[in-house]
Chain A
Amino acid sequence: MPKFQSAAELEKFRAEILSSRDPAKPCIAVCAGAACAGMDSAAVAAAFLAALDQQKLGDKLEVRTTGCHGYCEKGPNVVITPGDICYFEVQPTDVSEIIAAALKGEVVDRLVYKDPGTGAKAVHMSEVPFYKHQMRLLMGDNPKIDPMRIDDYLAVGGYAALVKALTEMTPDQVLDEVKKANLRGRGGGGFPAGSKWETTKKAPEKTKYVIVNGHEGESAAFMDRAMLTGNPHKILEGLIIGAYAIGAQKGFMYTRHDMPLLEKHVRNALLQAKEYGLLGENILGSGFAFECELHFDVGIFVSGESSALMRSIEGHAPEPRPKYIRTSVSGIWDKPSNLNNVETWANVPQIISKGAEWFTSIGSERSKGTKLISLSGNVVNSGIVEVPMGTPLRTLAFDIGGGVRDGKTLKAIHFGGAMGGSIPADLIDAPLDFDGMSKLGAPIGAGGLLLMDEDTDMVEVARYLLDFLVNESCGKCAPCREGMPQMLHILTNMTEGKGKAGDLERLEDLAEVTGAASLCALGKTSADPLKSMFRYFKPEYEARIVNVAGGSDAK
Chain B
Amino acid sequence: MSDKTIDSIIEKYRGQPGSVIHALVEIQHENHWLPRDVIHRVADALEVPFAQVMQIASFYKAFSLTPKGRHEVHVCTGMTCHLRGAPKLQAKVEELTGLKDGETDADSRFTFETGACLGSCSIGPELIVDGKHYGRMTPEKVADVLKRYE
Contacts and interface: CB of A to CB of B under 8 A. Distances in A.
Interface string A258-277: 11100000000000000000
Interface in A310-367: 312, 314-318
Contacts of B24: 298
B120 A258 contact: no
A533 to B, nearest CB: 15
Nearest to B76: A219
A220 B60 contact: no
Contact of A34 (B21, B83, B118): B118
B62 A299 contact: yes
A378 B83 contact: yes
Interface in A408-458: 414, 417-418, 448, 450, 452, 456
B83 A72 contact: no
Nearest to B28: A298
A222 B119 contact: yes
A191 interface: no
A465 B77 CA distance: 11
Contacts of A39: 123, 133, 135
A414 B77 CA distance: 17
B39 interface: no
Given A38-B123, A258-B118, A377 B80 contact: yes
A260 B126 CA distance: 18
Contact of B79 (A35, A226, A377): A377
Interface in B105-137: 115-124, 126, 131, 133, 135
B84 interface: yes
Interface stretch (B3-11, B12-20, B90-98, B138-146): B12-20
A165 interface: no
Contacts of B82: 464
A300 B60 contact: yes
Interface in B41-100: 52, 55-56, 59-63, 77-80, 82-84
Contacts, number: 117
The CB with the most chain A CB atoms within 10 A, among B61, B117, B131, is that of B117
A96 B56 CA distance: 51
A288 interface: no
Given A220-B117, A222-B117, A376 B61 contact: no
A468 B80 CA distance: 13
B25 interface: yes
Contacts of A314: 18
| Most chain A beta carbons < 10 A, residue from B24, B62, B77 | B62
A35 B18 contact: no
Contacts of A464: 79, 82
A73 interface: yes
A37 B121 contact: no
Given A35-B135, A298-B62, A468-B116, A75 B123 contact: yes
A299 B60 contact: yes
Contacts of B120: 34-35, 37-38, 72, 222
Contacts of A386: none
A230 B80 CA distance: 22
A472 B123 CA distance: 24
A398 interface: no
B62 A38 contact: no
Contacts of B84: 377-378
A456 B83 contact: yes
B80 to A, nearest CB: 4
Contact of A73 (B60, B63, B118, B122): B122
Nearest to B124: A376
Given A258-B62, A295-B21, A312-B21, 18 more contacts: A35-B121, A35-B122, A37-B133, A38-B126, A39-B123, A39-B133, A39-B135, A220-B78, A220-B121, A222-B120, A226-B119, A298-B60, A299-B61, A314-B18, A376-B80, A377-B80, A378-B83, A378-B84
8 contacts: A219-B116, A222-B120, A258-B118, A312-B21, A315-B56, A316-B56, A317-B55, A317-B59
